[in-house]
């Protein structure tokens, strides 16, 4: 009898929960169906395609496409370039938003104006920014950069035609577009720090640089680490810039990225199965870095709970 009573109580307790969940699921179902149709089905089809010879799925070839891409010079170049992109994005693109965010936090007047101006490039599409910087770097004759150099009596250079310069130049374009949004994230975190710490340091005559290294960095070290991992993940998805500025990853695959190579195999070379294999490899790399990101978040949350 006691067991029956406990079972009945459980059923009664579940009824209001089920009713509430039904409403939630009814609201979520349309979005979930759209997500399933536009995201998960293409991902699943892409994984299956990587094991076949073409998009018609006529012949199963196993891991042959993966063997071919790992023998392909373009893939090896794109894989190496991806880590070069990461290196330059850390050197150029990682520290600039931190500096901008810190300067905004130190700014006393016209904070709102500066925030709007800094965020404006983030509202421009990636393709538009790529064409803008294509005109800046351009060729030796008509590029904006060369026009300025010639005005000061210098010689024109083929900036985007230099294999050693092309990736840093692309990273500059990416940083110009994305730094403002990241800087505002840093700014919002800077503003959570107790103002009395900064006030006390100002009274003691501590300069802004020392305040940053002795107050800001120790408090925000977890934020810095988290945004570093997120930046690395985003760099793996570079596409527009090498397509437009590098003209299909040139010169000589010096700016080729894994995402662009996948698109090139599928759309330009009409080797859809190889393109699918490249995208699967890229997805695995991103999943590894995403798992690192979640692991760091778990460790940080545990430390904060203590």
Neighbours of 93 (CB within 10 A): 23
pLDDT of 10: 52
This prediction has a pTM of: 0.82
pLDDT of 57: 82
Helix (H, G, I), strand (E, B) or coil at 300: helix
pLDDT of 149: 84
Q: Of all residues in the chain, what percent carry a pLDDT higher than 70?
A: 91
Neighbours of 283 (CB within 10 A): 16
pLDDT of 27: 81
Q: Which of 244, 248, 234 is nearest to 282 (CA)?
A: 234
pLDDT of 11: 53
Locate all alpha helices (DSSP H) within 72-143, ordered by sequence. 73-88, 95-106, 111-119, 126-137
Intervals of the chain under pLDDT 70:
1-20, 140, 300-301, 303-306
């Amino acid at each position: 009898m006691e067991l029956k009573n406990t079972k009945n109580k459980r059923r009664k307790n579940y009824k209001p929960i089920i009713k509430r969940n039904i409403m939630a699921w009814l609201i979520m179902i349309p979005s979930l169906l759209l997500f399933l149709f536009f995201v998960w089905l293409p991902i699943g089809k892409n994984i299956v395609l990587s094991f076949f010879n073409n998009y018609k799925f006529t012949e199963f070839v196993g891991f042959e496409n993966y063997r071919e891409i790992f023998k392909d010079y373009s893939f090896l170049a794109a894989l190496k370039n991806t880590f070069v992109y990461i290196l330059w994005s850390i050197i150029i693109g990682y520290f600039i938003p931190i500096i901008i965010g810190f300067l905004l936090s130190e700014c006393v007047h016209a904070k709102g104006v500066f925030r709007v101006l800094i965020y404006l490039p983030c509202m421009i599409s990636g393709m538009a920014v790529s064409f803008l910087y294509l005109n800046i770097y351009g060729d030796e004759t008509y590029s904006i950069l060369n026009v300025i150099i010639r005005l000061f009596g210098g010689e024109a250079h083929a900036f985007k035609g230099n294999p050693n310069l092309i990736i840093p130049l692309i990273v500059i374009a990416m940083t110009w577009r994305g730094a403002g949004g990241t800087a505002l994230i840093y700014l919002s975190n800077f503003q959570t720090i107790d103002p009395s710490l900064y006030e006390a340091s100002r009274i003691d005559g501590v300069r802004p640089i020392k305040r940053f290294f002795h107050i800001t960095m120790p408090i925000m070290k977890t934020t810095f680490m988290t945004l570093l991992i997120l930046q690395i993940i985003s760099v793996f998805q570079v596409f527009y810039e090498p397509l437009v500025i590098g003209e299909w990853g040139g010169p000589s695959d010096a700016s080729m990225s894994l995402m662009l190579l996948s698109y090139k195999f599928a759309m330009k070379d009409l080797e859809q199965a190889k393109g699918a294999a490249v995208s699967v490899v890229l997805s695995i790399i991103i999943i590894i870095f995403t798992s690192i990101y979640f692991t760091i978040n778990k460790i940080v949350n545990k430390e904060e709970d203590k």
